[in-house]
Amino acid sequence: MVAIVMISSPFNVHAAQDARVLSDGLIIYENPNDDSDVIENGYHGELLRIGTEHKEDFWYKVRVPLRGNGKKPKYGWIKKDQVELNAYRGDHLTRGIQAFTTVVRHPEIHRFVFGFYYGIPFMSPTPFIITTGAAVTTVQSTGVTMSMIGGEVGYRLSTSWTVSLHYHQHSMLNTYITDLGNASYSVNGNLLTVGLEYALIHKLPWKLALAGAVGGSLGSTITATLGNQLVNFDIGRVPAATLKLIGKWHPFKNLALFVSAGYRYKTKKDIVAGTSTLDLVLNAPFVDAGLQVEF
């Protein structure tokens, strides 16, 4: 007869296991104290590997997730109350005996992103050209104003990648003083683009991302006035693209305020309007600001 004896350890035994993050904003510290440098952030539902080393039952040592670029320490420390252990059973834990269970890794929760923004492009003044017989007179603009307002719908593929659809309307107005009276040159149009955003830095509540988009306008209209004369040109579709750097701040988990700076390409040459040929050039750097809501 063979007797099998199980000996319960009087000590709290810890072994490597998985723990699930309870909410966004978990901080992984370099050392087990609040004044330590922050290495990385954890996100709701994410699984972290808990090591065997603990400190005063308030801190867990964890393996740092591999995200983004840059060199990071292999291990860090988190606070005990920010995670839920998956490999312990409470009745055995109190007696110091480990019970191992199969951990099911759930995929990251994907979220829809809705955004609204207002921007200001920095356009150079457009000269006003007057043709009288064989004489051509070029008048420089006395001022130019331009603005754009729009929105976006996106889908967050992961913590780093987001694909989105953007739509915005823009308007530009140049004003002139000529020998024939006051003149103006205005452009009104829209832009529909599909873009991809990559998070360069993602440490809640801060995020720095690079975004690019391609598409075009569904229609643009040019209006030129000279004294009592008014001429309208319907430009139609114009190809366009944007590239921008975005800085975001999350005051709440599902809400972000952002500012961005970038460059917009929108050009169409040799547009025939009646007996005239013109070029539409709306290339310009820009800044915009707005908010995003995630679901």
Please indicate whether residue 210 or residue 6 has the higher confidence score (pLDDT): 210
pLDDT at 211: 97
Question: Same structural domain for residues 128 and 271?
Answer: yes
Please indicate whether residue 226 or residue 163 has the higher confidence score (pLDDT): 163
Question: Considering the domain boundaries, does residue 4 fall inside one?
Answer: no
Question: Considering the domain boundaries, does residue 62 fall inside one?
Answer: yes
Question: Considering the domain boundaries, does residue 2 fall inside one?
Answer: no
Question: Same structural domain for residues 26 and 145?
Answer: no
Residue that terminates a domain, selected from 61, 93, 125 = 93
Q: Which helix or strand (DSSP H or E) is residue 130 part of?
A: strand 128-132
Give the separation between CA 105 and CA 109, rounded to whole angstroms: 12
pLDDT at 271: 66
CATH of the domain at 51: 2.30.30.40
**What token pair was written down for 288?**
């915009």
Tell whether the model's pLDDT for residue 253 goes beyond 90: no
Question: Same structural domain for residues 120 and 230?
Answer: yes
Residues 79-90 have pLDDT tens digits of 888 888 764 434
HEC profile for the chain?
Answer: CCCCCCCCCCCCCCCCEEEEECCCCEEEECCCCCCCCEEEEECCCCEEEEEEEEECCCEEEEECCCCCCCCCCCEEEEEHHHEEECCCCHHHHCCCCCCCCCCCCCCCCCEEEEEEEEEEECCCCCCEEEEECCEEEEECCCEEEEEEEEEEEEEECCCCEEEEEEEEEEEEEEEEEECCEEEEEEEEEEEEEEEEEEEEEEECCEEEEEEEEEEEECCEEEEEEECCEEEEEECCCEEEEEEEEEEEEEEECCEEEEEEEEEEEEEEEEEEECCEEEEEECCEEEEEEEEEEEC
Question: Considering the domain boundaries, does residue 73 fall inside one?
Answer: yes
Question: Same structural domain for residues 75 and 198?
Answer: no
- pTM summary value: 0.58
Question: Same structural domain for residues 82 and 121?
Answer: no
Question: Considering the domain boundaries, does residue 224 fall inside one?
Answer: yes
Residue 152: pLDDT band (50, 70, 90) is very high
Mean pLDDT of the region 100-115: 60
* Percent of the chain at pLDDT exceeding 70: 73
Question: Same structural domain for residues 65 and 129?
Answer: no
| Residue range of the domain that includes 260 | 111-294
Residues 123-134 have pLDDT tens digits of 777 666 655 556
Question: Considering the domain boundaries, does residue 136 fall inside one?
Answer: yes
Please indicate whether residue 8 or residue 203 has the higher confidence score (pLDDT): 203
Which of 66-80, 90-104, 107-121, 281-295 has the weakest average pLDDT?
A: 90-104
Mean pLDDT of the chain: 77
Please indicate whether residue 9 or residue 49 has the higher confidence score (pLDDT): 49
pLDDT at 75: 85
Please indicate whether residue 64 or residue 138 has the higher confidence score (pLDDT): 64
Tell whether the model's pLDDT for residue 239 goes beyond 70: yes
Please indicate whether residue 262 or residue 95 has the higher confidence score (pLDDT): 262
pLDDT at 223: 82
Tell whether the model's pLDDT for residue 13 goes beyond 90: no
